[in-house]
Structure 1
Amino acid sequence: EGNTHFKEGRYPDAVKCYDEAQKRNPNDHTVYSNRAAALLRLMAYEDVIRDCDKCLAIKPDFVKAITRKAHAYFWTKQYNKALAQYEEAIKVDATFQEAIEGKHKTMMKIQENATGEGDEEAAQRAMQDPEIQQILGDSYMQLVLSEMQKDPKKINDYMRDPGISAKLNKLIMAGILRVGNGPQPGQGGRR
């Protein structure tokens, strides 16, 4: 019944049906994934992530749930998390077109952010991520970022160190660190 409501675009009704199905069979991973699909259409992204996590706790390799979780991260502009989920989905099923296309769209958004064409909102949201906070709170990384601000060419030296490179790439993917000629977050600049 929930699937019928979903196909006919009645997403709130679909969610209600999936709620009932989940109460009757809490170990059916597809119910959580289907409810996540309906919630995605309703733009209830935090609920999508929660349902996908429940689905994946039951069936860790369920590619539709991994991809739906990635979509929720994408639409909340958490591109680094979206990319990780799309890559996970592709590991599970290298032919799953929805994940392949999602990864491509996410890479495009990350590139926009890295060159200064992205939006400030994504960078602000990334600042709430504990992993990003940890990187930015690291005193050595603060030194690295300070030196790169003084001499942008230093990034080439730092990218040779695998540990620092991984952290810098996280900051780039999150839209915190931009490379190229675009304005840096918080600096404004002409467009």
Structure 2
Amino acid sequence: MSDPAAHDSADLRHGGNKQQPSNQHYAHESASQVSDADPSDESVPVNPLSQTRDLVNSLRKSMKRPADEKCFECLCKDGVLRVLYYLPAPPDEPTPIAVYDAKPLSPELLKAYLDYRVAWSQEVEDCFRGVDGTSVPEEYLLHPPPGVIQSRGSKNERTEEIKRHNDKVRQGEGSGEGAGPACGGVPSNFDLRPR
């Protein structure tokens, strides 16, 4: 069930945000914030790590979430950050997933998100190389074609996977795999330029 193109975040703290989803405007506006800082302006010290963190946090906070807060974020392989939720299904059958909100990420914003939220790996870097979420057609933001969002299996499979992970952590075998940089840690530095 591991897919380098789908990175989940179960951060549900912003469930009350009722802003309407926007599309490419937000991605271009946010990406321009990354490059608008004038490095020669000595009146304001530039901290790229802080700027990246703030940019990613504002992006995540701007996303709409269901009132019950039962959702998760997923950076899909098309370069669109989506808020997803599970639809009702029997616990032993694959659970259907629906999109609640979506933000297309420009290459700059995609890099900022990956640098701040995802541990570096060659597989992830290769998966997102040359991807531009702003080129995704409007109708695919909330209704992506098959294969863009990986199946998460059945509820029983997910529960068993969580149990196995928790057992490993209890036995001291767990690791921070898949987690972003620790507090105060050094962020990743993905190179997403086409080769």
TM-score (norm 1): 0.24
Larger relative strand fraction: 2
Q: Whose radius of gyration is greater, 1 or 2?
A: 1
- The answer to which structure has the higher helix fraction is 1
